[in-house]
Structures are given as structure tokens and as C-alpha cells.
Chain A
Amino acid sequence: MSNVLIKMDNIKKYYRSGSDTVSALQEITLQIGRGESAAVMGASGSGKSTLLSIVGGLNRPSGGKILIDDLDLYALPGERLADFRREYIGFVFQQFQLIPYLTALENVLLPLTTAGYSRPEKYERALNALERVSMTGRKNHLPNQLSGGEQERVAIARAIVNEPPLVLADEPTGSLDSRTAGEIMELFQDLGESGLTILMVTHNPENAAYMQRLITMQDGLVTDDSKKPEPLASGRIALAGNAGGVR
């Protein structure tokens, strides 16, 4: 098994806007190691969310190639890309994106719906995931009955319920207060320590500090990929140094 989980080679993304062509990503070449956690920072419009959606198999690049676990993502036939997302990737979206008419437990069960597990197995996995984010006691609550932090925890449980090797998070604490955001980031840190590969888009340098690696983007280009996170003021130390990341 290769030590590199994500390999991006010369990724480009253009959008057409009338007669104009807007370049969202320009020749991005990156590698993310297995078990590595990386924050992608940059101003709005720098291309970080586009990068995340391409890595997540949601947005076909205009050029270049992306390999995840040595699989050429966008060369997968037919609906295999959907299967790949289910098996390899856990998404934590901005604004949580829980399904409002499903309970916390049912939201976590969603990725298992089409996975072919037996009913008891699905529930066991979902309950385990909720337990990892300390939400077992609120499993039967609808999203609107949960606080922002609790919704975020449910969203994280949903992302990890399939035990994917890669979790992609898009501004996961964007709508949380700083204390709750800190708790959520510690949760991400715990997940990272358990061996999950995490790629997180964030505006917040404090959140980035929880990640092992910081990738800075501007105008569709990676402008910096060398910074190490600073120690946190809270006393808990963000993972520092080379933790197996491949540059």
C-alpha cells in the first residue's frame, strides 16, 4: 500500500461565464500522505472549495489527473464514482448539511443506506459513530432540535460511519462559536490521530493549527505548502513536525 493517499497532478479547473473563461484552479500538483491532516487556507475565490470538491469526486477537473489510493478518480466507469465516494470519502459540509426530516441516527445511517450492510450492522456502525462524537444520547433528535455544535458532531459521525480513509471538511466550524469550534477541532484532531486522512478547507488560522500541514492558496494556485501549525494557546499542542506527510 502506497504511503500517498491523494496524488494531484497538474489539476486545472475552468468555468465558462458567457464568453469568458474563469480559471478556478491552475495546475495544482499536490500529494497528501495516508493519515495526514492538512488545512487548505486562502481568501474567498482562491479555489480551495473547488479543490475540495474535485478531490471528493464531485467536480470533474478541466485538466490533469487525480489519484486516490492509486485509483484514477475521474476515469472510473459509470456510477463507480458514486460508489467510490461512499467507500473512500467522508464529507463534512459547511452548515452541517444534515437532512432536516431525519433524526441524528438516521442522518448517520444515510451513507450506509446503499452500502449493502445488513440492518443490524448498519445500526451498530451508526451507533458506534455517534458514540465517537459523544452524541448517542441525542440520536433520536431532529437536526432542528440540536445545537450547532451537536449538528456538527452528527455531521462528523455521518462522515466517518463508513470508516473511509479520507475525510473532507469544508469550513466545518464556520457557523460555530469559538468554544464549540475548539471542541469540534479537537474532535478532528482525535480523528487525525486515529489514522484518518483529513483535508480541511478553513478561513480560520486557529482551526488550521489543529492540522499537521497547511496549504495556502491564492487565485487558483498553491502559494505556500511549507508552514507548520503554531502551538495552540489553549495548551493542547497541534500536531507538529513531519507526521508522515508527503510533499
Chain B
Amino acid sequence: MNLYSIALRNIWRKKTRALLITSGLIVGIATAVALFLTVESMRLALGDQIDEFGSNIVIVPRAEGMDISYGGAHVSRASIDLKQLELSDLEAIKEIPDFNSINIISPKMVAAVNVNGKEALLVGIEPNREFIMKPWYTLAAQSGLNGGEGIRGLAMADLKPEGIIAGAEAAAALELQAGSQITINGQNFVVQGILNPLGSAEDGLFFANLAAVQTLLGRPGEISMVEISAYCNACPVEELAAQISAVLPNGEVTALRQAALIREETIDKFSAFSILLSAVALTIAALLVFTTMMAAVHERTREIGIFRALGFRKSHIIRIFFIEAGLVGLLGGGAGYLAGNLVASLAGTYLTGSAVPATWQPELFYQALLLSTTVALIASAFPAGRAAGLNPAEALRFI
């Protein structure tokens, strides 16, 4: 017979009460664990999605020297000592340590051309890369459709060598429709598709195959810029940019922090929300423990009086209550961990629409135990103190 066996016997005797406290802690811990795991999976999924959508690294030909102004006219350094960037240069990127973090490399050739007698910007792209990197590009119309067929975004990737995709404004300015024949720098092309309006500069562009544009301009193998989409969960985008810069002496590599910042801000908001929700759930659990323990103290007043009369110190009474709370806390923590993992793995992906399923994290088990036990002990501190402070004479109705 010791303080532990007294506490255990009392838990066993009041199973319903113990179950109530445990349930409260299970809900609190399960909420915290499930939210943590779900947010973690969202962090990965969202990160990947944000990284996939658009580029986060841009490479342009390197320009040496300094900017020069002469007679009030500004001469960019790019125009006086511009290095050439070739498509073959990009092979070197495969050698960088974090190449696996790179999702898409999309080289481009941008040039001012004459379209049906009007000046316009033509962008040579590799369609299967460019349009996957920018899934917000959708077609308003495309040629070759039969009646009743819908617009298929994937058709953009099947851009023929003589095909052109026109931005919404460009098509409107030249009164083009899907299937229209146009002349670019004297060469015939077919408008294969017209993009939906994007509300950006892309609306005024024409897109064609990179190889076709290079041939049209007489600059085979040359590219004027590269957009790279990289997964930044594994490594910081700046680190990746530095690695690419090291293997591309002709290129000026710029990391676009904006995507990373948006990603961090979005995830931070989710994290803060989940922490808040977990705190609310744990506070409710703590209140449940507190009220149940206070009721237990009231119910056990006489028993506490007997213990005190038999020579139990105040600290012994506190220890009995803390042992009870601690044991229930451990049970609630363990069960809450299991429940939280189950909820996160079964429902988390469905509820959040996250593409990455929540994975079980064994190391969270001990944290769940610690958190649950801490909550139970803190919530029991006042009731335990109240129990220890009971006047034994009053408890035994001597007064």
C-alpha cells in the first residue's frame, strides 16, 4: 500500500469520472496532434503547390560592366557587354547538388516581331514546360474543335511548329480567331489557340515553339531567359540560385523571394490558427479536469480528513491527486496521440484538400504525453492544494 496504489484504486473506483477527464484530454490532445499533423502535411502540399505555380528563379544573360549615361541618354550595361545564353548551357544545371529540388526549367526566347504588319512581342517557349509551370493559362478558344467539344487546356502542350497561341489582348488587337492565318516576320503561322484574359502583360504576347522562334529569328540554340520552378521545402531558394549561378557563368540568376514569402506567410497563418484551435481545445480539457477534480475534492472531503488524521502530510494529499491526474494525463496523452494521428491520416487530407497525406510521427508521442500530463497537472494544482488545505477537524465533522 502506497500513494500510487491509493491513487490507482481511486481511479478504478471512480471509473466514470476518470473516463470523463481522460476523454477531455483525449479530445484536447487529439485536436492538437491532428491539427499539427494536418498543418505539416499542408505545409508540404501547399509549399509544393506554390512552388509549382510559377517560377521562383529567373536566369537572364549576364551583363558585365556598369551602367553608363551619356548626354542625358541612359545606356544599360546589358546593351554594351551582354553574354550569350545557350540552350546547351542549361545541361550544367543538372550537376548542382540540389537538382532534385528543381521542378521545371522553362527556357524562353523573347523578341519583338512584326505580326500582320504590327509590332508585337513573340515568346518562344517549350509548351509542355511553360504551360505546366503556369496552370492559370487557359484557352478561350482553340482551332480544330468539333461542335460540342469543350476547350481542353492540355491542347496548349500540343503546340505545332507553325502554331501560335495568342494572348487575349493581342488576339483582339489583330482581330484574330482560333484558326486564323497570320504572318510573323514574313513567315506564315496558324493561331492554334487564344488565351483567356490574365489581366497581366502576358495578354499582349504571342507564344510559339522555342525552336520555331529561334529559326525565325536566325538565332538557333540561343535563349534570352529561363524561368525555373523549384521546390523550396527541401532547400531555400537563395541557396538553389547560388548553386545555379556557380555552374552558369553566362547567366545572371535571381531568386524570387515573393513565392517563398507567400508560402511562408500562408503556412504561418495556418500554423497560428492551428495553435489557437489547439490551445482552445486544451483549455477546455483543462477546465474539464479542473471542475471534475474540484468535485472530487468535495466528494472526498471526509476521506481526506481521515488521511490527514492518520498522519498524511499535506504534500501526501497533493501527491495522491497529482498521481491520479498524472496517470489520467498519460492515458489521455497516449490515446489522444493515437486518435489525433487517426483523424489526421483519415480525415485530414479530405478536410483540408491537401495533396500530401498526414504521416504518423512517432516522436510526437512523447510530446503528446508530456503536454497531456502537464495540462492535467496544472488543472489539478488548485484542487489538490484545496484538498491539502482542508481542515481535518472540519472534514471529519469534529466542528
Binding site for B on A (CB under 8 A): 15, 49-50, 52-53, 56, 58-59, 79, 82-87, 91, 93, 97, 99-102, 106, 109-115, 122, 158, 162, 170
Contacts of A162 in B (CB 8 A): 311
The answer to whether A113 touches B312, judged by C-beta atoms less than 8 angstroms apart, is yes
Contacts of A83 in B (CB 8 A): 311, 313
Contacts of A170 in B (CB 8 A): 398
Closest A residue to B9 using CB positions: A101
Residues A86 and B10 in contact in the complex (CB < 8 Å), given A50-B398, A58-B396, A113-B2 = no
The answer to whether B313 touches A79, judged by C-beta atoms less than 8 angstroms apart, is yes
Contacts of A112 in B (CB 8 A): 1
Per-position contact with A for B309-343: 1 when CB-CB < 8 Å, else 0? 11111111000000000000000000000000000
Contacts of A85 in B (CB 8 A): 308-311
- Shortest distance from the beta carbon of A88 to any chain B beta carbon, whole Å: 9
- Shortest distance from the beta carbon of B274 to any chain A beta carbon, whole Å: 41
**Cβ contact of B313, chosen from A82, A97, A111, cutoff 8 A:** A82
The answer to whether B306 touches A50, judged by C-beta atoms less than 8 angstroms apart, is no
Contacts of A52 in B (CB 8 A): 398
Closest B residue to A49 using CB positions: B398
Best-buried of B1, B2, B9, B391 by chain A (most CB within 10 Å): B1
Contacts of B1 in A (CB 8 A): 102, 106, 109-110, 112-113, 122
B386 at the A interface (CB under 8 A): no
Alpha-carbon gap, A86 to B313, bound state (A): 10
The answer to whether A97 touches B308, judged by C-beta atoms less than 8 angstroms apart, is no
The answer to whether B6 touches A113, judged by C-beta atoms less than 8 angstroms apart, is yes
How many A-B residue pairs lie within 8 Å, measured between CB atoms? 86
Alpha-carbon gap, A82 to B9, bound state (A): 23
Closest B residue to A112 using CB positions: B1
The answer to whether A79 touches B9, judged by C-beta atoms less than 8 angstroms apart, is no
- Shortest distance from the beta carbon of B329 to any chain A beta carbon, whole Å: 21
Residues A50 and B310 in contact in the complex (CB < 8 Å), given A79-B315, A122-B1 = no
Contacting A at CB under 8 A, from B283-321, are 302-303, 306-316
- Shortest distance from the beta carbon of B18 to any chain A beta carbon, whole Å: 13
The answer to whether B306 touches A86, judged by C-beta atoms less than 8 angstroms apart, is no
Residues A114 and B306 in contact in the complex (CB < 8 Å), given A49-B398, A58-B392 = no
**Cβ contact of B303, chosen from A50, A58, A82, A99, cutoff 8 A:** A99
Alpha-carbon gap, A79 to B392, bound state (A): 13
Contacts of B173 in A (CB 8 A): none
Q: Which 3 A-B pairs have the closest CB atoms?
A: A86-B311, A59-B393, A53-B398
**Cβ contact of A99, chosen from B2, B306, B313, cutoff 8 A:** B306
A-B contact pairs, 23 of them (CB 8 A): A50-B398, A50-B399, A52-B398, A53-B399, A58-B308, A58-B309, A82-B313, A82-B314, A82-B316, A83-B313, A85-B308, A85-B309, A97-B302, A97-B306, A100-B13, A102-B1, A102-B6, A110-B310, A113-B1, A113-B316, A114-B313, A115-B311, A162-B311
- Shortest distance from the beta carbon of B14 to any chain A beta carbon, whole Å: 9
B151 at the A interface (CB under 8 A): no
B364 at the A interface (CB under 8 A): no
Contacts of B12 in A (CB 8 A): 101
B80 at the A interface (CB under 8 A): no
The answer to whether A91 touches B310, judged by C-beta atoms less than 8 angstroms apart, is yes
B262 at the A interface (CB under 8 A): no
The answer to whether B399 touches A15, judged by C-beta atoms less than 8 angstroms apart, is yes
- Shortest distance from the beta carbon of B142 to any chain A beta carbon, whole Å: 80
- Shortest distance from the beta carbon of B312 to any chain A beta carbon, whole Å: 6
Contacts of B9 in A (CB 8 A): 101-102, 106
Alpha-carbon gap, A175 to B308, bound state (A): 23
B198 at the A interface (CB under 8 A): no
Alpha-carbon gap, A170 to B95, bound state (A): 91
The answer to whether B399 touches A82, judged by C-beta atoms less than 8 angstroms apart, is no
Additional A-B contact list (19), CB under 8 Å, known A50-B398, A79-B313: A15-B399, A50-B399, A53-B396, A58-B308, A58-B393, A82-B312, A85-B309, A85-B310, A86-B312, A87-B311, A93-B396, A99-B306, A101-B12, A106-B1, A106-B5, A110-B1, A110-B307, A112-B1, A170-B398
Contacting A at CB under 8 A, from B25-60, are none
Contacts of A101 in B (CB 8 A): 9-10, 12-13
